[in-house]
Structure 1
């Protein structure tokens, strides 16, 4: 029997399925540990083994792994379980990041303090644990506009740009009242209020010492920070790229999370890079697929290899640049038509055109987060401007029509 490759839960936007596929390609047998197998349709689609376990309980996850013979590696493609996977891998004597560093890194308040102490530029911030009044006082001190966000979280959920005291009070109050994350797990009511860093946003993608490159990010309409697209490699001057990468390397060292994959988000301000946050995991938002389309570098396979102590995948080359644009939900309502996919796929440079909803699906109110995405197009080109222009053209060809519901119906729509 092949050695087991254990995935503790999974994200819901595609890379978990790719992790399993890459494990199989390496001769491993993937198994997903989950408390809710129905969350992942790909388990049935690809006949992936699954074991039902309380993944919020590290001891239960560890005990389940010990029932498996010859486990080659343990990891997760989910922000919410990467620390659990790191702890289990360490206790089984398998390759993995420092579990304490990963767990601490997921606390954005701790991360901010640690980076600032190391001399790395971060936005001015205050930690709020009491009530909205303290949030308003913090915003006054920092100066408007400010960003309000949960101290732990992912995918821009609950992140909001606030222009005045009323907006701060509402945003902080909502986050403090929300004591569970999107998976329903308990969450400490800790909120960050931070000074808004003005400048273009980027992310640096790394696996261990390897820098895959710098991604240019496109954001939706304020006050939210939903990512509407990515360009790879980012359109920056060489000196700017060097500054972004150098800041990232220093941050990873300061946080102790340089072992495996990391997705580091920064803003390029007039004073230089300001580090927004380090995520001790592989990038979401289909960025690995964009990097692969541009360069041939398979970041998912690199993560699987890293977790199992196997050689990294070889570089196979690519056209040089790629871009993604997301189709965003226009709810609330019921999807009445999906159009233009074949037309988009036929356009020059289109590598993928996909919609993840269907006619008859009910869409809730937009959340201002990754949950608003209902499709995407990925395009390639010899240079980033070409790939980006092709992505905009392909996106324009795709339509997701929504029939509006009544207010009463909207209240009953699933979030």
Structure 2
């Protein structure tokens, strides 16, 4: 066939991308629009209206009204696939996929993947997980929940993201106080009146200078699991804020295989058939334990995959949605590819100054050091993971990476004016983990 004939017969696939706050619009749109005709479906809120001009440069944009009306409008585009990269959009995407008869998580599967209570129950029933949990909707249910779970424990929303309103509770009195505080909120999680989960706290094993947890990245095509990688982590900031991630993990081959096996068991137990999964595991003295399974690409994993293996996971997830089973090309990982994430303070404050950025950029192994905050900016505080910036690069090995983190944490300094304090306070990036 001639080149002209190939051009005439090739049809770009039409891909529905359900998008919202949680994934940078350019990170999603740029890799897809070069080869697919994208229709971006967004909720009608202030954030998505701000990013609509960005998305509109790469495809059509539709605001959601009712699910049924949105599906009817989408039929006019004759879509070939549907995907989302946002936690809070999974159930909407599943409903649209059902109405449009496109491969994606079933609606029940999307519920399992976004409901921390139902997911634990399903994993426990399959014999994959044994973490004690209790569902709470009111203070009257606290005593029974506390007696069943015991302490220390973790209190979190049933539907949540980025550790928002997720607390470590050392004893019953502290837990009851936290419960009252969270129940008083209009929306503790992603869904109003979604409830809270009290669950057993998993004590980690010593893993310093790295974190005592990992995530396992898998692809699933029609039920077949494809390993992508095991992501190492830096130690969490209190209570459960992420501070960094890197490839490859610092653990040996046998341990990584154990992590992969547990993630496989969990994903199979839930019955996931399509897409990318991001499974978080706690490393305890008794072995790895499940934290949760997420039915979408994990935060920051796209950049790690591109840096470490030349692997575009945004595109891979879209190809799976379009029914393409071809595994993507990847290259071996050399060095330690990382993202270091200075966390926002838990106390409300105003940013007064940011210092040391150029010194961090000058460190061997640092590619970029970009701060997302600027002087005069107000930070709301809270326990959710919120990045003040991101340091990216490649270190020669894990020892060199650990030393680089130590240097960067010391060099990067921020000045805050905390609510209730007259004098601004200087805080190193390393000290942010306890502020």
Q: Secondary structure at the match of 2:341?
A: strand
> Which residue of the partner structure matches residue 198 of structure 1?
203
Q: Which range is displaced more, 150-159 or 326-335?
A: 326-335
Contact 2:128–2:266 under 8 Å retained in 1: yes
> Which residue of the partner structure matches residue 31 of structure 1?
40
Contact 1:37–1:50 under 8 Å retained in 2: no
Which whole-Å CA distance do the structure 1 matches of 2:43 and 2:311 have between them?
Answer: 29
Contact 2:153–2:198 under 8 Å retained in 1: yes
> Which residue of the partner structure matches residue 59 of structure 1?
68
Q: Kindly state the Cα deviation for residue 397 of structure 1 after the two structures are TM-superposed.
A: 3.1
Which whole-Å CA distance do the structure 2 matches of 1:63 and 1:28 have between them?
Answer: 18
Q: Kindly state the Cα deviation for residue 155 of structure 1 after the two structures are TM-superposed.
A: 0.8
Alignment partner for residue 16 of structure 2, among 3, 6, 30?
Answer: 6
Cα 1:274–1:391 change in 2 (3 A) is same
Alignment partner for residue 175 of structure 1, among 166, 169, 182?
Answer: 182
> Which residue of the partner structure matches residue 248 of structure 2?
233
Which whole-Å CA distance do the structure 2 matches of 1:19 and 1:404 have between them?
Answer: 35
Gaps of 5+ in 1: 409-415
- Asked whether 1:101 is paired with 2:109, we answer yes
> Which residue of the partner structure matches residue 343 of structure 1?
359
TM-score normalised by length of structure 1: 0.86
> Which residue of the partner structure matches residue 209 of structure 2?
none
> Which residue of the partner structure matches residue 4 of structure 2?
none
Q: Kindly state the Cα deviation for residue 287 of structure 1 after the two structures are TM-superposed.
A: 2.7
Q: Aligned-pair RMSD on alpha carbons?
A: 2.6
Which whole-Å CA distance do the structure 1 matches of 2:257 and 2:142 have between them?
Answer: 36
Alignment partner for residue 387 of structure 1, among 376, 394, 401?
Answer: 401
Alignment partner for residue 75 of structure 1, among 50, 70, 83?
Answer: 83
Q: Kindly state the Cα deviation for residue 362 of structure 1 after the two structures are TM-superposed.
A: 1.2
Which whole-Å CA distance do the structure 1 matches of 2:372 and 2:53 have between them?
Answer: 17
> Which residue of the partner structure matches residue 363 of structure 1?
379
Q: Secondary structure at the match of 2:103?
A: coil
Alignment partner for residue 319 of structure 2, among 302, 305, 309?
Answer: 305
Q: Kindly state the Cα deviation for residue 182 of structure 1 after the two structures are TM-superposed.
A: 5.8
Alignment partner for residue 352 of structure 1, among 348, 368, 374?
Answer: 368
> Which residue of the partner structure matches residue 53 of structure 2?
44
Which whole-Å CA distance do the structure 2 matches of 1:407 and 1:49 have between them?
Answer: 48
Q: Kindly state the Cα deviation for residue 354 of structure 1 after the two structures are TM-superposed.
A: 1.2
Contact 1:125–1:195 under 8 Å retained in 2: yes
Which whole-Å CA distance do the structure 1 matches of 2:109 and 2:344 have between them?
Answer: 36
> Which residue of the partner structure matches residue 433 of structure 2?
none
Q: Secondary structure at the match of 1:120?
A: coil
Alignment partner for residue 302 of structure 2, among 269, 275, 288?
Answer: 288
Q: Which has the larger radius of gyration?
A: 2
TM-score normalised by length of structure 2: 0.83
Gaps of 5+ in 2: 1-10, 205-211, 423-435
Which whole-Å CA distance do the structure 2 matches of 1:39 and 1:393 have between them?
Answer: 37
Matched residues, number = 398
